[in-house]
Amino acid sequence: MGARRVEVIVDGDLGRLLERGAVHGFTCTAAQHGTTRIAGEIADQSALIGLLELLDELHVEIVTVRRLPGGS
In the chain, domain spans: 4-68
* Confidence class for position 10, pLDDT limits 50, 70, 90: very high
Look at the domain 4-68 and name its fold.
Answer: Alpha-Beta Plaits (3.30.70)
Q: What is the pLDDT of residue 30?
A: 84
Q: 25-32, long-range: CB within 8 Å, 24+ apart, which pairs? A: 26/51
Q: What is the pLDDT of residue 66?
A: 96
Q: What is the pLDDT of residue 7?
A: 95
Q: What is the pLDDT of residue 28?
A: 84
61 φ, ψ (degrees, to nearest 5):
-80, 120
The pTM assigned to this predicted structure is 0.82
* Confidence class for position 41, pLDDT limits 50, 70, 90: very high
For residue 1, pLDDT beyond 60: no
